[in-house]
Chains A and B, each alone.
Chain A
């Protein structure tokens, strides 16, 4: 058992650290949930991509560095420690790309991945629907066969980044009579500016359009934008949701950096005694999350599958993130109300954590039933 990185990984760390020190913007970028901020973040993605730092875990042919999971964790530690901006391309990079690597065609990978890596095409996710939140099997948006492709109709909502993004990916019901609700779903990519698409930005709690509602009226999608076999969308979506996604949805590097910033904030506030415990807990929680992730990554690299562990992980990080930001706002006192701070932006973002990506209630059910073997029953 050891926690030391291989020398080559430490060299990789040093290289990343040096690059970040030279390139990270000195002033924070504007919120990526504004048009101005979105453009600034897109430019940052392009700068990262120019030196192959935007997608370090991808193969080199698509703009990556072929970094393994442990090296990716190292990169994330350096990235967030350097105070680098949030990633506007994250939905595509962490949700769509792994699916394309597993189930896409060579043509799809060659066409979709390079512009994703540079931020030229930013992706939104189109999973949720008004009547289907964590219950993806209840989706009703349709994909109907047409010459050379499919016609999409229906309504998607809570589509993160869709207010300013270029394209989206999601599941559509292609076989309405399928015997079980999660059968007959097809995984498709579509253009948010295609005829028949209406994007209605939705303001989140602070009014910023962090997500959008999508109205789809016979939107044509060519066959080349179907991922995997038609009708197999559920299986395809789930196969990448359970494993690495659980590890990469929130990187430990981000929380280690946030906890260090919180400690600075606490010191700057004169080390108030009443916040001491919460600040210490934030430091401990970030370390726990880092070590848990390292252990999970090591198991994953040995071939284990990480099903219910990603649910443990989701509940932990989402509640951790919220507690950390609540502590920061309390430390800022009356100044914590000011919406134009990184902490306020982070707080509003963290409030959504226990709700999205499968609510924490759903995740606790998964933990109890799949990890502890408790019987299914009344919700």
Chain B
């Protein structure tokens, strides 16, 4: 057993983090929120060039994968820097397209970054359909190539643009591997949420060290310390669940990781808002980019209750 990231995996995380930190992602996110996708697409290309989407695509279709552990490593960094776009949906699309003709047709572009994909579950919205080129709808008939997105509806996270997909279109895969795609999507969401939580924690720790009240840093007050201690405990116990789930990809493990990571990120978001006070409650302050994402990810690709159901469902078999 060696349940630790190896040197290469850590180097991958570090290089991705350095690249994203230099990219001024808050500015990219704000443009994206207004439907201006140019800078976001450029960033997307750099993420793809770093090999992120290729990790979910088999080698025979132009990818490097499948490498779920490395994908989780990458998604922690994407979350940490609040990178916008249908990141998880592109991973889900890669799995849904499976193998054979649809895979040959779309996966190389998806791995290389030319294709932003989005996916709508039955009756649900697709994320960022206005930015995506490949619109997939999971229906009772199978996986459909939708003609395109409907009008954008706003999300609690302004960077997430919700779009219904136009019904009809071409049937791509009659019996898509939905359970497998859900596992990959939940894993990527969990890792992304963990990154969001870690960024919220870092920013809040920095803030309470410099913000003073009653003549001392607010971070010296025990009430403040204990909330941050609870946040770091929640995040650090979610982290091994995420990597354990990446190793097994069992539905119960992935659901557990999604549940814990999203709850930890949300707890941290609530703490971050409370400890920042009114400044944290403003859209113009960058903290808001992570605060709203923590809330949105909590219910994306499985609500807490759905995840708990999956945990117990698997337990019933055991």
Chain B interface size, as a band, is 35 or more
Contact at A316–B233, with CB atoms within 8 Å? yes
Residue A180 at the chain B interface, CB threshold 8 Å: no
Residues on A with beta carbons closer than 8 Å to the beta carbon of B248: 3
User: Given the known A-B contacts A1-B243, A277-B308, are A284 and B260 also in contact in the complex, defined by CB atoms under 8 Å?
Assistant: yes
* B237 adjacent to A288 (CB under 8 Å): yes
B284 at the interface (CB under 8 A from A): no
Q: Is the CB of B9 within 8 A of A1?
A: yes
Q: Check if B238 sits within 8 Å of A288, measured CB to CB.
A: yes
A377 and B220 contact, CB distance less than 8 A: yes
Give A292 to B264 CA distance when docked, in angstroms.
15
Given contacts A316-B237, A374-B208, contact A287 B256 (CB under 8 A): yes
Give a binary string over B209-247; 1 marks a CB under 8 Å from any A CB, 0 the rest.
Answer: 100000011011110111011101100111111011001
A227 CB-CB contact with B under 8 Å = no
Q: Which residues of B contact A263 (CB under 8 A)?
A: 312, 315
Main SS at interface, chain B = helix
Give the contacting residue for A2; candidates B9, B238, B247; CB below 8 A: B247
Q: Are A287 and B229 in contact (CB under 8 A)?
A: no
- Check if B34 is an interface residue, CB within 8 A of chain A: no
Closest residue of chain B to A364 (Cβ to Cβ) is: B229
Residue of A nearest to B220 (CB): A377
Which residues from chain B contact A375 at a C-beta distance below 8 Å?
209, 216-217, 219-220
| A276–B313 alpha-carbon span in the complex (Å) | 11
Contact A367 B229 (CB under 8 A): yes
Please determine whether A365 and B312 come into contact, CB atoms closer than 8 angstroms.
no
Q: Which of A2, A316, A363, A371 sits near B2, CB closer than 8 Å?
A: A2
Is the C-beta of B305 less than 8 angstroms from some C-beta in chain A?
A: yes
Contacts of A288 in B (CB 8 A): 237-238, 240-241, 256, 260
Name the contact of A378 in the complex, choosing from B205, B222, B240 (C-beta under 8 A): B222
Chain A contacts of B309 at CB under 8 A? 276, 280
Query: Given the complex, which residues of B lie within 8 Å of A292, measured CB to CB?
Result: 236-237, 239-240
A188 within 8 A of B: no
Give chain A's interface secondary structure class. Answer: helix
Q: Which of B3, B5, B220, B309 has the most CB of A within 10 A?
A: B3
A312 contacts B by Cβ under 8 Å: yes
- Across-interface contacts of B240 in A (CB, < 8 A): 288, 291-292, 294-295
Contact B3 A3 (CB under 8 A): yes
**B259: interface (CB < 8 Å):** yes
State A315–B227 Cα separation when bound (angstroms): 13
Q: A70 to B3, alpha carbons, bound, how many Å? A: 11
Closest residue on chain A to residue B235 by CB atoms = A312
Task: Give complex CA distance A11, B221 in Å.
Answer: 51
Residues of B within 8 A of A206 (CB): none
Q: Is B317 an interface residue (CB 8 A)?
A: no
Q: A residues within 8 A CB of B209?
A: 373-375
Q: How near does chain B come to A236, taking the closest CB pair, in angstroms?
A: 28
**Contacts of A369 on B, CB cut-off 8 Å?**
225
A280 to B154 CA separation, bound complex (whole angstroms): 33
* A147 in contact (CB, < 8 A): no
Residue of A280, A294, A302, A364 touching B226 (CB-CB under 8 A): A364
The 7 A-B residue pairs whose C-beta atoms are closest, nearest first, are: A377-B220, A368-B225, A291-B240, A280-B308, A364-B229, A367-B229, A374-B219
Chain A interfacial positions (CB closer than 8 Å to B): 1-6, 9, 70, 263, 276-277, 279-281, 283-285, 287-289, 291-292, 294-295, 298-299, 302, 312, 315-316, 361, 363-365, 367-369, 371-379
